[in-house]
Amino acid sequence: MTEPDRLNKAEYAYVWLRDRIRSREYEPGHRLVLSSIAAELEVSPVPVREAIRQLEAEGLVTYERNVGARVSTLNQDAYFETMETVALLEGRATALSIPHLGPGQLAKARELNEKMEATLQDFDPQAFTELNRKFHRTLFGACPNKRLLELLYEEWDRLDYFRDSTFRFIPQRARSSVAEHFQLVGLIEAGADPTYVEQKARDHRLATSTTYRNIIESTDSPSTAHD
């Protein structure tokens, strides 16, 4: 096998494993057996080992002596820390965007939220999440502080390592989220104090995190420790 082939297979194994961890097909604590994964992917153990090392560096996998690689059970804390960071950055970026948002952008945000509202009838968490991302990008995308935006997108990427869509696990939160979106757009259209809008945008993101945390605590099950 040539070096490029090996690297391509390692990338393939990485994506394959990451998707199963993020979708919870592989639950926290699930043992990653190198030979079994390699056989399923029809590759040698070498690229699978590389993929597992990369996932370990990202915190999705932990290695235990005499046991081997397992799906990390520590992602829950990292997820909530990242959500808190996103809330702070997103709130500030939204506030700084306000002077640069025109009627067209606000109309686009409202239209996206109406599409989100429509998905509630036959709920598709993945579609809802993608619309949710577009909605928030529309509101904070005009932020003139480019470094702030870079940090925010970095934290968004970090969230993607932890779950495909939080709304898969807390679909009951979706309806409240849509209502809060309409409120945010309405506040901006009405010329509300940007500091107040920042607080509402931050509280909106934290409400999702809090709802998810409450679900985890109420079930008190190890299987909910990831995402």
CB environment 48-77: b (16+ within 10 A), e (fewer): bbbbbebbeebebbbeeeeeebbbbeebbe
Question: Hey, what are 57's tokens?
Answer: 């560096």
* Residue-level pLDDT at 222: 39
Architecture of the structural domain at 3-71: Orthogonal Bundle (1.10)
Q: How far apart are the first and last CA of the chain?
A: 36
Which uninterrupted H or E stretch holds 71?
Answer: strand 68-71
Helix (H, G, I), strand (E, B) or coil at 56: helix
**4-50: pLDDT as tens digits:** 455 599 999 999 998 888 777 887 788 999 999 999 999 999 999 99
Backbone angles phi, psi at 171, to 5 degrees: -60, -25
- The CA R_g of the chain, rounded to the nearest whole Å, is 20
pLDDT band per the 50, 70, 90 thresholds, residue 227: very low
The full set of domain ranges for the chain reads 3-71, 75-224
Tell the residue number behind the tokens 């909605």, with chain if given: 135
Does 75-224 match 3-71 at the fold level?
no
* CATH 1.20.5.510 fits domain 75-224: no
pTM assigned to the model: 0.71
Helix (H, G, I), strand (E, B) or coil at 120: coil
Q: Are 177 and 211 in contact (CB under 8 A)?
A: no
Nearest partner of 208 among 129, 124, 131, judged by Cα: 129
Share of the chain above pLDDT 90, in %: 66
Task: Give the C-alpha separation, 33 to 219, whole Å.
Answer: 29
* Residue-level pLDDT at 224: 35
Task: Give the C-alpha separation, 81 to 68, whole Å.
Answer: 27
Lowest mean pLDDT among 53-62, 68-77, 149-158, 172-181: 68-77
